[in-house]
Amino acid sequence: MDSVIKTYDIAKVFNPGMPDQIKAVTDISIEIERGGITVLKGPSGSGKTSLLSLIGCMSRPTSGRIIVNGKDVAKLPERFLTGIRRSTFGFVFQHFNLISGISVIENIMLPLYPSDIKLSSIRKRVESIMENLGISGKKDFSVQRLSGGEQQRVAIARSLINEPEVILADEPTAHLDSKLSEDLKDIFVTLQKEGKTIIIATHDPIIHEGGFAGRVIEMRDGMVKEVTVE
């Protein structure tokens, strides 16, 4: 299998040595298939977000190794991780994390501000992405005035702007009804066809049931309980 990411016994311990020490992730070894859709499922508190954050270089493991495109990133200092995040990953956060007070289009362009790409060409790129996601009418809205589903799409558009290889989405259906959730699945399928690798953390059956994902990793108490391959 051609894998984008491989983990070897990674663990994440919060507040180590303190009375409130928490093992959020315990010795997980998994592989993420390039160009596939992988779903992390499990009950609340089982460590899905923590694992996603480790895979996406948002935090570093307490122990273990993480290989991203053949490179061990587990021990890299934060300043190198930024570069990897920028070039490899697009994030769709559980709480969207859009910046309020600026327009939709600015939010989507934001990841490319610290680059030498001209604003006008960024704008063009954004417009075509918004077109594909069906939100081009909301370009100049400020994000607070969007519905949950629209905010979700803006967040997806922002994750796509730097043309990442891997898209990480945390509970993407949490704010959507079942119709919008189905639409979202279509979006992910389209992205997969374009060659993106997609990793979704969710406990929503609409996502992890019915053969949408190529691979479902079930988590329990910070550990992998079962891996199902379609």
Partner 1 sequence: MEKHKKILEYAISSLLRRTYRNLAVIVVFSFMVAVLSSVLFLTHSFKVEALNVLSDAPELIVQRISGGRHDLIPADYMKKIKEIFGVGEVIPRFWGYYYDRMTDSNYTLMGIDKNMRGLELLDGRMPTDSGECAIGKGVSDVRSAGIGGKMYLINSRGRVIAFKVVGVFTSGSNILTNDLVLLTKDSVKTFFGMPSGMATDIIVEVNNDYEEPFVISKIKELLPDTRPIMKREIIRTYDTVFSWRSGMILIMFFGALTAFCILAWDKATGLSDGERQEIGILKAIGWETSDILELKFWEGIVISLTSFLSGLILAYVHVFFFGASVFSPVLKGWSVLFPQFRLMPYISLYQVFIILFFTVVPYVASTIIPSWRAAITEPDSVMRG
**206 residue type, one letter:** I
- From the list 1-9, 44-52, 63-71, 160-168, the region that binds ligand ATP by CB under 6 A is 44-52
With beta carbons less than 8 A apart as the criterion, state whether 176 and 147 touch. Answer: no
Residue 22 interface partner, choices ligand ATP, Mg ion, partner 1, none, CB cut-off 5-8 Å depending on type: ligand ATP
Residue 102 binds partner 1 (CB under 8 A): yes
- Site map 170..209 versus ligand ATP, x via CB under 6 A: ---------------------------------x------
Q: Nearest 10 degrees: CA dihedral of 118, 122, 123, 127?
A: 160
Interface positions, 171-230, toward partner 1 (CB under 8 A)? none
Burial of 7: CB neighbours in 10 Å, binned 0-12, 13-18, 19+: buried
Q: Which of 49, 107, 159, 181 binds ligand ATP (CB under 6 A)?
A: 49
How many residues form the binding site for partner 1 (CB under 8 A)? 35
Please tell me the distance from the alpha carbon of residue 163 to that of residue 175, in angstroms, as a whole number.
25
Using DSSP's 3-state secondary structure scheme, residue 73 falls into coil
111-133 as b/e, with b when 16 or more CB fall inside 10 Å? bbeeeeeeeeebeebbeebbebb
Residue closer to partner 1 by CB (options 3, 59) is 59
Binding site for Mg ion (CB under 5 A): 49
Binding site for partner 1 (CB under 8 A): 49, 52-53, 58-60, 78-79, 81-83, 85-86, 91, 93-95, 97, 99, 101-102, 106, 110-111, 113-119, 158-159, 162, 170
